[in-house]
Structure formats: C-alpha cells, structure tokens
Amino acid sequence: MSPVVYACDIGSVKSGTFAWARNDSLDSAPAASVDIDDLIAAVTRDVKKGLPIAIGFEAPLFLPVPDDSSQLNSGRTGETSRSMFAPAGAAVTTLGVHESAWIFKRLRAALPADISLTFDWTTSDYKPKEIFIWEAFVSSTAHSDTHERDAATAVQYFLANIANLDSVNAVTCSNPLSLISAAALWSGWITDIGALHIPCLVLRPTEPYTGSIEPVYIE
C-alpha cells in the first residue's frame, strides 16, 4: 500500500516561511499550504481513514558526532557545500527540531494511541497505523520561488523514487545523533532512547517541481 506523502518546508511560522505539501500519486497535482494547523488536520484525517503516511521535514534531522576532534563541525557526507553546520543550515536545524516537536505533540494528542513512528526506509511495507519520517533536502538547483513549491518538490521526488528509496538516499554520516528522534522522545511518542542513534532517509531532488499546485481542503 503506497503512503500519502507529506513534506514540510521548515521556516518561520511567525513570518510565513513555513509551508507543507501533500500528495498520494504522481498522477495528481500536489496540494500545499502555509498553515501548520491545517497540516495537523490533514494528517489526522488521513490516518483516521486508515491510510499509511510518510512525513518529510526539510531540515537536517540528524548530525554526526565524530570520534576525532579535528572532524567536529564537519558536514555530513553528501551535503557538499550545504553543510548543516553553516549558518543557514544551523538556523533551519533549530527550527526543524522546534517545529517537529510541536507537530509530533499535536499529532500524538489527535491520533489513536496505537499509531507509531518509524524511521526505517529499508522496507516498502507502509502500514496504515505507522507514520514514516524522512528528511527532505531541497537546495541549490532544486529551489523554487515559493516555500509551497519547495515542499511540493520534496513530495513529488519521494513519489517518483518510492520503489528505490535506498538507492537515492543522499546523505549519510558516522555516529549519528538523531535530532528528530529527540523531538519524538520529547513529545512522548517514542520511549526507546536507542532511536537517538538512528539516521533518516535523506532525499535530495536536483530539479524543482514545475507543475500545478492545488489548494488544501480540510473536510
């Protein structure tokens, strides 16, 4: 069963630079919005319909903790010139932890208690009571003119590569410290501290999505 795919373009909710998109098929146009409360409503609706969900966050979700001190503050393999430790990367990382923690807390309160989170991208078995978490890395030539379109780019890239996600995983590191797991632990959604050592799937599109974008409808 294919998941409904969401992606959040992490930015300031207060200044209007946060956006999210949703789609379930390349045969349809993605929907997008800047309203984070509508994101909670849409995911809640889809989960309660029994649909499997994948949510991506466009921010670094894990960082390397090297053994060698000379490697401290070095970016993850695959980031190239967009290191998470550069000023822009560090800023969006902080926002990503902040906003994902809020999203997890709100979803956890809205959803049935048996809905679980997973970070495992090695299986294609998407389950109705499981939310798969992944990292979007929309930068450089994939950037668009709006935050909604950046979120849509991430969603469409996931759908286009859903059959071979492992082979397009773009960023890795040794000794990962999972920031997204820290947010999930804080929210109470997970309790296993071992999740702090688990990396995420990272999808890095090379081109922006240029098709149409639909408005979000919340029944």
Write down the pLDDT at residue 27.
96
Convert the pLDDT of each residue in 189-200 to its tens digit: 999 999 999 999
Output the pLDDT for position 124.
Answer: 66
Pick left, alpha or beta for residue 62 (phi over 0 → left; psi -120 to 50 → alpha; otherwise beta).
Answer: beta
Q: Given CA atoms 18, 41, 101, 137 in this order, what sign does their dihedral have?
A: negative
* Residue extents of the structural domains in the chain: 4-203
For position 8, what pLDDT does the model report? Answer: 98
- Cβ pair 65, 74 in contact under 8 A: no
Calculate the alpha carbon distances from 163 to 3, 38, 125, 166, 194 in Å: 12, 29, 11, 9, 28
Cα(168)–Cα(156) distance, rounded to whole angstroms? 14
Cα–Cα distance for residue pair 90/88, rounded to 1 Å:
6
> Which portions of the chain are predicted below pLDDT 50?
none
Q: How many residues does the chain have?
A: 219
pTM of structure: 0.96
Q: DSSP of 136-156, one letter per residue?
A: E---GGG--SSHHHHHHHHHH
What's the pLDDT at 121? 87
